[in-house]
């Protein structure tokens, strides 16, 4: 244990060395004083003695009597202080000495610290003229021992006095420190240690000090601190009594604030989910119907327009996703995907979206490709395309004449990836420096006047800057000036797709021999476009020449001589002479011996331009902006040297269906309560050779899965009876039972309009494998199914080799080969958009009429039912009923009713009750729809068969119907009509009508059971 170190001990230990040093100093000072005094006294005695014997010594020196000199010196030595004497000549020569030290006349050894003393007396003799003549010097010396003999007694006395005095003073100091300071402090410390606080506020030991010095002030300060501390302790004790109630009150306040914040968050999430659902539903119809229409045969011009509309709709869908999920932007959690994509495909979609707008304004849209950028990259094509679309769209919007150039440059490239710089330059209105500074602020535009010429929210560039940062780059305004256009650039870091670099090298190696020796003439009045095409051609290592107009091109072709041009890339619209006229002159010019191939390059891909190009004898046609792969493929084609299959870096063509071949023969369960979405998905999947079973809720899905094997399940989330999440959980629980491995491994894919990140997480938590957001992208849906489905099921019964189920009604009908032709009674409807409704159901009017009759039967009293539910206070049931009515009305084309019911549905979702006027208006609209339905004429009865079918024909018809119920519901209706006509007037007709009723209610298992038990008479029956 460490010994206690008191304040007095530490103070004494600190002072002791200094005290000893002071004592020694006192002794040294006393000795020095005595030494100086004794030394001066001896020096004075020596000087006096020298003057006494000076006359005798002077006579002896004058008479040069050495004996007399020695006698005088010996006489001087009789004095006790003289240790040695000598007489020197004026020149310092020794004349006589007595006892003078021999070892060092000038510096004899000291005794201790004492040195000897000497005195010199000059010997002078008066001459006849009265002057004093120096005869020599008498020197007397006192040894150090002489001085020490006088000093040592004084040293002993001084040392004794100093020790005694110092000891006494030290004792006094110790006593003062210990008994006056340390003991007093110890008492203060003991009193402070013994302080106790109670209700009487008294201390266990009094604390007092009688002196008014610094220590007294310290004691007073301690006393004051004790009183204050005691008061604080009493206040703290009182506060502790109320602390529990205060904490409880604050906790309640925090809980209320938390509940308020959570409520606000739920409202926000519900709003986003609702808006997402409502916007995605029509988008699903748009994209779905575009997909189905594009599968049909149509003119090339119509297909081109629809493909562009499809690309624009997909781009719009991507932007809608960002706007609806703005909470990600606010929280800084916008995710950037890392997927493999084709850069040229992104640019093609960009051109489809802004090319028509540029054509309408007469603006040339140019794209400058850097061939050093690989075509296949890894990144987020949607975000990259969104930035490009925003920048190019703004450039076209703010440009009245001239051009818009999109330039892509490779800044650096390594094994990890490539860093690209993208610049969008326009010749538009430009901006002032102050406008540039505010350009990237949210909801800010360059045109802030009240009479704005240009629309938009001003949010796009702010989002683009954030996206550029997320892609590892940044976005900035490179240059801008009023009337001289603007250039905006951004950089991005992208990874290179696997084998993309090797493919690019292989492309050049394969194209090199075919391109060797080619001479190409590029004709374009736009110098930027001319430069872009020339750069791409030089990358392919061909000999390139340029001309700025048609007349110059003719001259160059005539002067080619022995080095003719193999190919001419001719712009169409040029001043003085258009490209088609220049081509005709080239073909008719006899001075051009070697006729080159001519490819028209134009930004105007209209049918008139193509017709004029054909009439001018063009060999090919390229639409600006030209990509390197399309340019290379066109050159190889027109020169008859074959195309490179991988010239596009593996980009799939319009009809490519990657990963779909494995779907043929698969059996999938589609769980969807919405009739329209169900029909679209069924038609899409059966078009791929997939056998589809249908269920309208989760409960029915669970039952079907237990009875039949499926390769995959497409599951909606929001459904009556049992939603998709509950159904998925039940299916996964079946997999935990013995023998339930197929339920655990069954791919379940969510297919829903709930597209928030939380919805995808909820699907995953429920045991689903993937999440597909509506509107459904057909390619994405089929690719997702292929990815999760391990192996297809049995072949689809009745399927043709092409993969499309056979049988009537599978495809075709009214909508095959073109838009549906509606009967006059449907076109005359005032409250129903029959054309929209027929398109939604696949283009056939008969199923549409059937759905109208079902709507009449099921929703004729929908508003009255809604009133009753609201009167009962069952808001949840009222909301579900209103939501169902809204969906059916929208699918049937009842636009006014759909819009009004949507407003009521929005109120119910906010726990608000619609007023009577709103319900009355909805009922009026519903009556108008019902009146339209009642006005429809009954369909003409099918013609009766010429002769009743034989039992064998009935059995074949029943077998076809049974197979269609399992593979193709679209073929069920005509088969059922044929069967109904065949049994008309027989005992089988009620059973067939019951089967039809069960099929109408989608009770397919019950219908199959009734069909199997249908009593068909034998062959020999009469």
pLDDT digits (tens, 9 = 90+) for 180-198: 666 667 766 766 666 655 5
Angle between helices 724-734 and 757-765 (to 10 degrees): 30
Q: Which residues pair with 719 in a beta bridge?
A: none
Give me the phi and psi of 538, to 5 degrees please: -65, -30
Question: What mean pLDDT comes out for the span 704-719?
Answer: 89
What is the C-alpha to C-alpha distance for residues 665 and 673, in angstroms, rounded to an integer? 25
H or E segment to which residue 493 belongs: strand 486-496
pLDDT of residue 124: 85
Instruction: Give the lowest-confidence range in 20-29, 468-477, 785-794, 988-997.
Output: 785-794
Asked if the bond preceding 775 is cis, omega within 30° of 0, the reply is yes
Alpha-carbon separation of residue 820 from 282, 310, 841 (angstroms): 20, 20, 11
- pLDDT-derived band at 309, boundaries 50, 70, 90: confident
pLDDT of residue 794: 35
Strand 748-752, strand 691-695: pairing: unpaired
Q: Is the pLDDT of residue 105 over 50?
A: no
The answer to whether 467 touches 493, Cβ cutoff 8 Å, is no
Count of CB atoms situated within 10 Å of the CB of 144 = 19
The answer to whether 470 touches 457, Cβ cutoff 8 Å, is no
SS3 content of the chain, % helix, strand, coil (to 5): 55, 15, 35
**Residue in this structure with the two tokens 């000087």, named with its chain if needed:** 47
The answer to whether 926 touches 863, Cβ cutoff 8 Å, is yes
Count of CB atoms situated within 10 Å of the CB of 3 = 6
Return the SS3 of 774: coil
Structure token pair of residue 754: 């709930």
Q: Which residues contact 794 (CB under 8 A, 6 or more apart)?
A: 665, 667, 691
CA-CA-CA-CA torsion sign (169, 170, 172, 177): positive
Q: How many residues does the chain have?
A: 1022
Structure token pair of residue 716: 């909606």
Q: Is the pLDDT of residue 281 over 70?
A: no
Q: Which residues contact 102 (CB under 8 A, 6 or more apart)?
A: none
DSSP labels for 551-573?
HHHHHHHHTTTTS--SEEEEESS
What is the C-alpha to C-alpha distance for residues 807 and 561, in angstroms, rounded to an integer? 66
pLDDT of residue 969: 54
Q: Is the pLDDT of residue 351 over 80?
A: yes
Count of CB atoms situated within 10 Å of the CB of 444 = 15
Question: What mean pLDDT comes out for the span 167-179?
Answer: 78
DSSP labels for 116-168?
PEEEEEEEEEE-TTS-EEEEEEEEEEE-HHHHHHHHHHHHHHHHHHHHHHHHH
pLDDT digits (tens, 9 = 90+) for 832-843: 888 777 755 545
Q: Which residues contact 187 (CB under 8 A, 6 or more apart)?
A: none
pLDDT digits (tens, 9 = 90+) for 123-138: 888 777 778 888 889 8
Residue in 883, 668, 666 with CA at minimum distance from that of residue 793 = 666
What is the C-alpha to C-alpha distance for residues 821 and 845, in angstroms, rounded to an integer? 9
What is the C-alpha to C-alpha distance for residues 572 and 680, in angstroms, rounded to an integer? 43
What is the C-alpha to C-alpha distance for residues 356 and 287, in angstroms, rounded to an integer? 20
* Distance between first and last Cα of the chain: 123
Q: Which residues pair with 480 in a beta bridge?
A: 486
pLDDT of residue 29: 83
Residue in 809, 845, 775, 820 with CA at minimum distance from that of residue 683 = 809
What is the C-alpha to C-alpha distance for residues 661 and 358, in angstroms, rounded to an integer? 39
What is the C-alpha to C-alpha distance for residues 692 and 690, in angstroms, rounded to an integer? 6
Residue in 894, 691, 704, 679 with CA at minimum distance from that of residue 792 = 691
Residue in 120, 172, 170, 114 with CA at minimum distance from that of residue 146 = 114
Return the SS3 of 669: strand
Within 13 Å and on the Cβ side, how many CA atoms surround 465? 12
What is the C-alpha to C-alpha distance for residues 192 and 914, in angstroms, rounded to an integer? 76
pLDDT of residue 652: 36
Instruction: Give the lowest-confidence range in 44-58, 83-97, 716-730, 825-839.
Output: 825-839
pLDDT of residue 810: 34
Q: Which of the 8 DSSP states describes residue 102?
A: S
Structure token pair of residue 379: 């990144």
Question: What mean pLDDT comes out for the span 647-667?
Answer: 47
Better pLDDT: 353 or 215: 353
- pLDDT-derived band at 278, boundaries 50, 70, 90: low
What is the C-alpha to C-alpha distance for residues 652 and 510, in angstroms, rounded to an integer? 20
Helix ranges (H only) for 398-523 are 433-437, 460-470, 500-515
The answer to whether 624 touches 364, Cβ cutoff 8 Å, is yes
Q: Which residues contact 991 (CB under 8 A, 6 or more apart)?
A: 1010, 1014, 1015
The answer to whether 777 touches 765, Cβ cutoff 8 Å, is no
Count of CB atoms situated within 10 Å of the CB of 849 = 22
- pLDDT-derived band at 490, boundaries 50, 70, 90: very high
What is the C-alpha to C-alpha distance for residues 583 and 581, in angstroms, rounded to an integer? 5
Q: Is the pLDDT of residue 322 over 60?
A: no
Judged by phi (left if over 0) then psi (alpha if -120 to 50, else beta), residue 416 lies in alpha
What is the C-alpha to C-alpha distance for residues 326 and 308, in angstroms, rounded to an integer? 27
- pLDDT-derived band at 426, boundaries 50, 70, 90: very high
Percent of the chain with pLDDT over 70: 74
**Residue in this structure with the two tokens 């003085």, named with its chain if needed:** 576
pLDDT of residue 449: 45
pLDDT digits (tens, 9 = 90+) for 931-979: 988 888 655 455 544 456 777 778 878 887 877 776 555 567 777 777 8
pLDDT digits (tens, 9 = 90+) for 88-97: 888 888 888 8
What is the C-alpha to C-alpha distance for residues 817 and 302, in angstroms, rounded to an integer? 12
Residue in 661, 687, 845 with CA at minimum distance from that of residue 293 = 687
Q: Which residues contact 457 (CB under 8 A, 6 or more apart)?
A: 443
pLDDT of residue 649: 37
- pLDDT-derived band at 803, boundaries 50, 70, 90: very low
DSSP labels for 517-552?
T-EEEEE-S-HHHHHHHHHHHHHTT-EEEEESSHHH
Instruction: Give the lowest-confidence range in 34-43, 518-527, 896-905, 1011-1020.
Output: 1011-1020
């Amino acid at each position: 244990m460490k010994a206690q170190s008191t304040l007095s001990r530490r103070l004494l230990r600190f002072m002791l060395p200094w005290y000893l040093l002071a004592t020694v100093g006192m002794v040294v000072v006393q000795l020095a004083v005595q030494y100086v005094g004794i030394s001066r006294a001896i020096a004075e005695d020596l000087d006096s003695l020298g003057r006494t014997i000076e006359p005798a010594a002077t006579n002896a020196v004058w008479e040069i009597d050495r004996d007399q000199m020695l006698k005088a010196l010996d006489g001087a030595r009789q004095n006790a202080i003289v240790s040695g004497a000598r007489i020197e000549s004026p020149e310092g020569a020794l004349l006589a000495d007595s006892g003078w030290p021999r070892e060092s006349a000038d510096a004899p050894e000291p005794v201790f610290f004492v040195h000897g003393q000497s005195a010199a007396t000059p010997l002078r003799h008066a001459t006849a003229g009265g002057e004093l003549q120096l005869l020599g010097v008498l020197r007397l010396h006192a040894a150090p021992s002489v001085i020490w003999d006088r000093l040592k007694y004084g040293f002993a006395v001084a040392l004794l006095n100093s020790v005694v005095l110092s000891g006494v003073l030290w004792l006094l100091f110790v006593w003062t420190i210990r008994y006056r300071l340390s003991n007093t402090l110890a008492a203060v410390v003991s009193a402070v240690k013994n302080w106790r606080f109670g209700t009487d506020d008294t201390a266990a030991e009094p604390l007092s000090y009688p002196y008014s010095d610094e220590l007294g002030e310290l004691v007073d300060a301690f006393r004051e601190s004790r009183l204050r501390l005691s008061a604080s302790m009493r206040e703290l004790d009182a506060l502790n009594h109320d602390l529990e109630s205060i904490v409880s009150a604050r906790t309640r306040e925090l809980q209320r604030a938390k509940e308020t914040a959570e409520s606000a968050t739920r409202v926000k999430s519900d709003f986003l989910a609702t808006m997402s659902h409502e916007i995605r539903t029509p988008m699903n119809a748009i994209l779905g119907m575009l997909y189905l229409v594009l599968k049909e045969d149509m003119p090339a011009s119509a297909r081109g327009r629809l493909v562009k509309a499809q690309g624009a709709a997909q781009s719009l869908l991507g932007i809608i996703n960002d706007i609806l999920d703005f909470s990600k932007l606010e929280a800084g959690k916008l995710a950037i995907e890392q997927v493999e994509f084709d850069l040229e495909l992104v640019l093609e979609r960009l051109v489809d979206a802004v090319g028509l707008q540029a054509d309408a304004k007469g603006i040339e849209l140019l794209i400058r490709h850097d061939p050093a950028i690989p075509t296949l990259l890894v990144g987020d094509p949607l975000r990259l395309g969104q930035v490009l679309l925003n920048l190019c769209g703004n450039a076209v919007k703010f440009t009245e004449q001239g051009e818009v150039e999109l330039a892509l440059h490779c800044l650096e490239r390594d094994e990890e990836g490539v860093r690209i710089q993208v610049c969008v330059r326009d010749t538009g209105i430009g901006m002032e420096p102050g406008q540039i500074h505010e350009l990237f602020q949210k909801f800010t535009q360059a045109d802030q006047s009240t009479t704005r010429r240009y629309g938009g929210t001003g949010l796009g560039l702010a989002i683009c800057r954030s996206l550029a940062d997320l892609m590892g780059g940044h976005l900035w305004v490179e240059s801008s000036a009023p009337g001289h256009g603007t250039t905006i650039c951004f950089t991005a870091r992208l990874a290179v797709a696997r084998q993309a670099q090797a493919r690019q090298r292989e492309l050049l190696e394969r194209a090199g021999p075919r391109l060797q020796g080619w001479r190409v003439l590029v004709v374009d009045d736009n110098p930027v476009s001319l430069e872009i095409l020339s750069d791409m051609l030089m990358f392919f290592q061909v000999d390139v020449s340029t001309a700025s107009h048609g007349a110059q091109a003719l001259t160059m072709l005539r002067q080619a001589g022995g080095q003719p041009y193999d190919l001419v890339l001719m712009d169409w619209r040029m001043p003085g002479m258009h490209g088609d006229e220049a081509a005709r002159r080239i073909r008719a010019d006899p001075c051009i011996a070697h006729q080159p191939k001519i490819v028209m390059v134009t930004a105007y891909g209209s049918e008139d331009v193509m017709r004029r190009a054909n009439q001018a004898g063009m060999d090919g046609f390229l639409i600006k902006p030209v990509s390197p792969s399309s340019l290379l493929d066109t050159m190889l084609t027109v020169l008859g040297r074959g195309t490179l299959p991988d010239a596009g870096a593996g980009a799939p063509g319009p009809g490519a269906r990657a990963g779909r071949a494995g779907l043929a023969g698969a059996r999938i369960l589609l769980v969807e309560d919405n009739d329209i979405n169900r029909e679209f998905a069924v038609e899409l999947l059966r078009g791929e050779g997939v056998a589809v079973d249908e269920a309208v809720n989760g409960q029915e899905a669970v039952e079907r899965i237990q009875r039949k094997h499926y390769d995959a399940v497409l599951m909606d989330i929001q459904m009556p009876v049992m939603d998709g999440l509950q159904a998925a959980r039940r299916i996964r629980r079946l997999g935990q039972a013995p023998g339930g491995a197929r339920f655990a491994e069954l791919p379940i894919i969510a297919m829903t309009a709930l597209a928030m990140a939380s919805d995808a997480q909820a699907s995953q938590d429920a045991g689903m494998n993937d999440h597909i957001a509506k509107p459904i992208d057909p390619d994405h849906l089929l690719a997702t199914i292929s990815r999760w489905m391990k192996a297809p099921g049995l072949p689809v019964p009745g399927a043709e080799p092409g993969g499309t189920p056979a049988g009537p009604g599978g495809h075709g009908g009214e909508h095959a080969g073109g838009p549906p032709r509606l009967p006059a009674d449907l076109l005359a409807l005032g409250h129903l958009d029959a054309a929209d409704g027929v398109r939604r159901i696949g283009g056939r009017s008969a199923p549409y009429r059937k759905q109208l009759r079902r709507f009449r039967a099921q929703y004729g009293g929908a508003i009255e039912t809604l009133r009753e539910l609201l009167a009962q206070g069952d808001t949840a049931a009222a909301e579900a009923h209103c939501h169902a009515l809204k969906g059916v009305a929208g699918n049937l084309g009842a636009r006014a009713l759909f819009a009004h019911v949507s407003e009521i549905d929005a109120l119910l979702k906010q726990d608000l009750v619609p007023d009577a006027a709103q319900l009355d208006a909805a009922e009026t609209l519903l009556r108008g729809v019902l009146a339209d339905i009642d006005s429809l004429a009954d369909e003409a009865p099918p013609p009766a068969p010429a002769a009743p079918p034989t039992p064998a024909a009935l059995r074949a018809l029943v077998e076809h119907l049974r197979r269609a119920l399992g593979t193709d519901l679209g073929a069920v209706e005509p088969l059922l009509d044929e069967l109904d006509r065949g049994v008309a007037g027989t005992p089988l007709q009620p059973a067939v009508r019951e089967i039809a009723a069960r099929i109408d209610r989608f009770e397919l298992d019950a219908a199959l059971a009734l069909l199997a038990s249908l009593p068909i008479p034998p062959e020999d029956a009469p």
